[in-house]
Amino acid sequence: MSGEERERDPERENAPAAMEAIRSLRETFWENPEAGHFRKNEGIVDPDEAEKRLQRFAPLLKKAFPETGNGVIESPLLEIPRMQAALKGRYAALSGAGKLPARLYLKCDHALPAAGSVKARGGIYEVLKFAEEVALREGLFAEVENTEKLLSEEARKVFSRYRVAVGSTGNLGLSIGIMSAVLGFSVTVHMSSDAREWKKKLLREKGVLVKEYAGDYQSAVASGRREAGADPFCHFVDDENSLDLFAGYATAGKRISRQLAEKGVRVDARHRLYVTIPCGVGGAPGGITYGLREIFGGDVFCFTAEPVHAPALIAGLASGKGSAVSIKELGIDGITAADGLAVGRPSPLVCRAMRNRLHGCFTVEDEKLFALLALLWETEGIFVEPSAAAGFAGLGYLERGSFPPPDGSSSAVVWATGGSFVPEEEREAYLARGKDALSRLKTE
């Protein structure tokens, strides 16, 4: 779509064109005409309160996950100049053929400790908050105490009377399952049939009850919700509606602002920040966008990336129908190699929160995800899973909106969301498929 067309009236022109592309499984970009109307302080969650709770729990997390060093579950922010050069040059087709003038960074949530994906941000936070509630209610612990105490035998005994349940395509299950098992909760993960075998195995090894469903992600969630609803001692982690998950994701805003400052990267009206984030139901990218907008206001521009076969959030926002949209009703199958992104409906909470916060959404073909993950491996030696490579595919769109485009003073962050827990064999298979896709690109 040309810039000229969009300038005429984005609201009218853009949405029907995007819906048409979505239905025909073509890659597309939708620009949110309401993103300019964002105001700070229309609060939905308080990321600072969530951050304070995470700080309180740092001693516990340090003991449970020594690999964090200091009990803070955080990932590096890396500049990736070799990947940028490849995306500007020979492999421009993979980034939407933009000029890519901004400095390019990778937010390495694929390497987040404890759960190996972005789900560690929201999932671990929600389980800790629940544990704190139970501990206070049961008189295990006074608010000012060292949280490490909640790893004691006495605490475990109390927690074992409580249950945690979640419906998941995989990564959320890992994050909730691992944290709940550490504390001694009895935990059930309701998995959709497309979830990877190794994720189910890893959870079972940790003592998690994994229930599998023949249907898709939404039916796994619905069963989990039903089962948990009948049990007053059960906490159901609701991926589609949870404010706690959302608040946990939103802490990423302040965390990355500190990392950018440490690198001497400025973000202000003349040094804009652009961020692309893979999206399933929208909780992770929505929460991150929320946190970033709280910090950087109008100087940050956030975008979501979805597979062409599972365009849930873009369909919800572009159609204006939010979570009433189901991709099945649009004739789309939801089948994609991008774990975690294979969902049929966006979260109602996220649709509301993103209305004036998100600048746009784009979709990407699966084959490109593989090519991108192989390219990232070849250029930077970093391995991510297919869904986590989605953010690269939309960099070119950033230059084609009615918002100010990135320039030499801007920074762009591609949010990598999963991969460090992927077993060696699967890695090899992903990389082989990716190399194949790359070589086809070269010869085309």
Residues lying near ligand PLP in the complex (CB under 6 A) are found at 117-119, 171, 278-285, 340-341, 385, 387-388, 417-418
With respect to ligand PLP, which residue has the nearer C-beta, 281 or 382? Answer: 281
With respect to ligand PLP, which residue has the nearer C-beta, 286 or 401? Answer: 286
CA angle 319, 320, 321 (to 5 degrees): 90
With respect to ligand PLP, which residue has the nearer C-beta, 302 or 341? Answer: 341
Half-sphere exposure of 189 (CA within 13 A, CB side): 30
Number of Cβ within 10 Å of residue 209's Cβ equals 14
With respect to ligand PLP, which residue has the nearer C-beta, 194 or 399? Answer: 194
Cα 392 from Cα 61, distance rounded (Å):
32
> In the complex, what is the shortest distance from the CB of residue 303 to ligand PLP, in angstroms, rounded to a whole number?
13
> Which runs of consecutive H residues, i.e. helices, occur in 138-216?
153-159, 171-183, 197-205
DSSP structure class, residue 418: B
With respect to ligand PLP, which residue has the nearer C-beta, 341 or 374? Answer: 341
Among candidates 323, 304, 331, which has minimal Cα distance to 387? 304
Q: Which single residue is written with the structure tokens 């890695």?
A: 427
With respect to ligand PLP, which residue has the nearer C-beta, 23 or 196? Answer: 196
Asked if 213 contacts 142 with a C-beta cutoff of 8 angstroms, the reply is: no
With respect to ligand PLP, which residue has the nearer C-beta, 115 or 140? Answer: 115
Number of Cβ within 10 Å of residue 186's Cβ equals 18
> In the complex, what is the shortest distance from the CB of residue 270 to ligand PLP, in angstroms, rounded to a whole number?
31
For residue 252, give Cα distances in angstroms to 37, 161, 218, 427: 23, 32, 27, 27
Number of Cβ within 10 Å of residue 340's Cβ equals 28
With respect to ligand PLP, which residue has the nearer C-beta, 135 or 164? Answer: 164
With respect to ligand PLP, which residue has the nearer C-beta, 184 or 282? Answer: 282
> In the complex, what is the shortest distance from the CB of residue 258 to ligand PLP, in angstroms, rounded to a whole number?
23
Q: Which strand (E) or helix (H) includes residue 277?
A: strand 273-278
> In the complex, what is the shortest distance from the CB of residue 119 to ligand PLP, in angstroms, rounded to a whole number?
6
> In the complex, what is the shortest distance from the CB of residue 277 to ligand PLP, in angstroms, rounded to a whole number?
7
With respect to ligand PLP, which residue has the nearer C-beta, 13 or 367? Answer: 367
> In the complex, what is the shortest distance from the CB of residue 54 to ligand PLP, in angstroms, rounded to a whole number?
18
> In the complex, what is the shortest distance from the CB of residue 385 to ligand PLP, in angstroms, rounded to a whole number?
6
> In the complex, what is the shortest distance from the CB of residue 234 to ligand PLP, in angstroms, rounded to a whole number?
22
> In the complex, what is the shortest distance from the CB of residue 444 to ligand PLP, in angstroms, rounded to a whole number?
28
Number of Cβ within 10 Å of residue 359's Cβ equals 24
Among candidates 170, 219, 201, which has minimal Cα distance to 336? 170
Residue 157, judged by CB atoms within 10 A of its CB (0-12, 13-18, 19+), counts as exposed
Number of Cβ within 10 Å of residue 59's Cβ equals 18
Output the furthest CA–CA distance in the chain (Å, rounded).
Answer: 67
> In the complex, what is the shortest distance from the CB of residue 186 to ligand PLP, in angstroms, rounded to a whole number?
24
Q: Which residues pair with 164 in a beta bridge?
A: 187, 235
Asked if 28 contacts 362 with a C-beta cutoff of 8 angstroms, the reply is: yes
Q: Which strand (E) or helix (H) includes residue 107?
A: strand 103-108
